[in-house]
Structure 1
Amino acid sequence: MTRPQSPPDPYARPQRPVPGDSHRSALVVALIGAAATIVAALIGLFVQLSGDVEQRASGPSLGGAASASETAGVPDTSAAPRSSLPPSTPAAPGGADGTPAAPTPTTATPVGLPEEFLGRWQGYAEETDAASTDHYRVTVELDQGTLRGRVGSVRYAMESSDCYGTVTLTAVGGTDQVTLGESIQSGNCVTNGRITLTLRPGDTVDFAYESTKRDGTRQSVRAGLERVA
């Protein structure tokens, strides 16, 4: 036989949850959250380490830029072979040890008076200047000599004066022309002048003399000389 239930007591106090149960629930939730955080951190660390390993395997990257093979239109030269030898340079002239070769000595051939002019030349000259024209005998004697050296003498036999001087070889124009520097040693003549001798057929030479007189006027003498000795 069932015992009849008594009606609820309206003045009874409501029951409260036991404090120990709520504390255990909060602790469990905190532990689960901490475990989830640790697992996430471990996963992130693993992913980062995996990325570093792949980056080391693929080679270093310069400044974070893409490799040359990944950049469109730019050839990849990173794998181009490099020679360990320096570029070749042309060998310097000289000996086997690289010392410069000594210059080859050259012996200068002295220029002398051509043989065709050797001897005594004589003839009559015509002198012209601004005031007058004069005629007199000219004698030139030439010996062997070198350039800028004395090669002979010259004499002018005039009515008013007899002039004598030496001649120096100043230029050689082949075998048919020479230039002489005249220096008068005695007589009433212009001290210095220039004589040009040009060979002509038949043992003759053209004599041309040029100088400047003391008054500044030009003096010119022309003659045809024959070999007399």
Structure 2
Amino acid sequence: MTRPQSPTDPYAGPQRPGRPAPGESHRTALVVALIGAAATIIATLISLFVQLSGEVEQRGPDPSLGGAAPVSEAPGVLAASSAPATAAPSSPAPPPSPSGTTPGTSGGSGATPVAPAAVGVPEEFLGRWQGYAEEIDATETDHYRVTLELEGGNRREQVGTIHYAMESSDCHGVLTLTAAGSDQVTLGEDIRSGDCVTNGRITLTLRPGDTMDFAYGSTKRDGTRQTVRAGLERVG
């Protein structure tokens, strides 16, 4: 048989919740402590990871692996390897010499320039030479004595005289050095007196025994070619 429930008193005060049993309170406190400890550990790990990531970015690549050298971690300080080297003060250049070159130098080298030696008549050609010449042109052949004297000199200078002793005329002239070698010289001839072609060219070639070959060439007044050959000997 069911007991009738008494009606709720509308004027009764609120009922207080029942107090938890002693074992349930301890379990709740333990769970809260574990959750707090786990949160602390996780926060610590996150902070350590962030700090390690920042140090790796600042250090850069390892120099032993071929990367760039690490820079200083201090802000605003350049690494020692990247600091510009202070240039040593240069010594003042020596004043130029009066000739316009720096003392001790000449044209970019330390040696003093030496002027090339003048090319003159070799000593073996100097003296008086004489012989009989054969002149050949378009119409006739003539023979006469040639006397030549060389006194020495340089290129483009007067170096001697010449004399042609012919039956019809004596011709005298002067000789100018055009070119010189060890055994051959070339002379320009300028006749100053006598009935001869005014200008010509003479080539002298040394031969053994104080002799030399004489070869002359020019163009006559009528346009024909004139050549003279002779063998000369030293006579003084």
Query: Does the alignment reach a TM-score above 0.5?
Result: yes
Partner of 2:149: 141
Q: Which residue of the partner structure matches residue 198 of structure 2?
A: 191
> What is the rounded CA distance, in whole Å, between the counterparts of 1:60 and 1:160 in structure 2?
114
From the superposition, tell whether residues 113 and 84 of structure 1 become closer, same or farther in structure 2 (CA, over 3 Å). farther
Secondary structure, counterpart of 1:55 in structure 2 = helix
For residues 179-206 of structure 1, give each alpha carbon's deviation from its aligned partner in whole angstroms, at most 9, with x where no partner exists: 2121222233332222111222333221
TM-score by length of 1: 0.58
Work out whether 1:121 is the aligned partner of 2:119.
Answer: no
2:220 to 176, 190, 213: 213
Q: How does 1:1-229 map to 2 (within 5 A)?
A: 5=4, 47=46, 52-60=50-58, 76-79=66-69, 101-102=104-105, 103-174=111-182, 176-229=183-236
Tell me the amino acid that sits aligned with residue 136 of structure 1: Y
Deviation track 1:90-111 (CA, whole Å, cap 9, x = no partner) reads xxxxx9xxx7841313254333
Task: List alignment gaps of at least 5 residues for structure 2.
Answer: 6-38, 71-79, 86-93, 95-101, 106-110
- How many residues are aligned here? 177
Q: Which amino acid aligns with 1:55?
A: S
Cα distance per residue 1:86-144 (max 9 Å; x no partner): 8xxxxxxxx9xxx7841313254333323332222222111123333222221111113
| Range that drifts further, 99-108 or 187-196 | 99-108
Helix, strand or coil: the match of 1:109?
coil
Q: How far apart are the structure 2 equivalents of 1:55 and 1:5?
A: 74
Q: Give the fraction of aligned pairs with identical amino acids, expressed as a percent.
A: 59
Please state how far the C-alpha of 1:221 moved relative to its aligned partner: 0.9
Task: Give distance in 1, aligned partners of 2:181 and 2:132.
Answer: 25
Partner of 1:10: none
Match of 2:77 in 1: none
Q: Normalized against structure 2, the TM-score is what?
A: 0.57
Over residues 152-202 of structure 1, what are the superposed CA-to-partner deviations in whole Å (9 max), with x where a residue is unaligned?
A: 11122233433221101222221x322212122223333222211122233
Pair 56,139 (structure 1): closer, same or farther in 2 beyond 3 Å: same
C-alpha RMSD of matched pairs (Å): 4.3
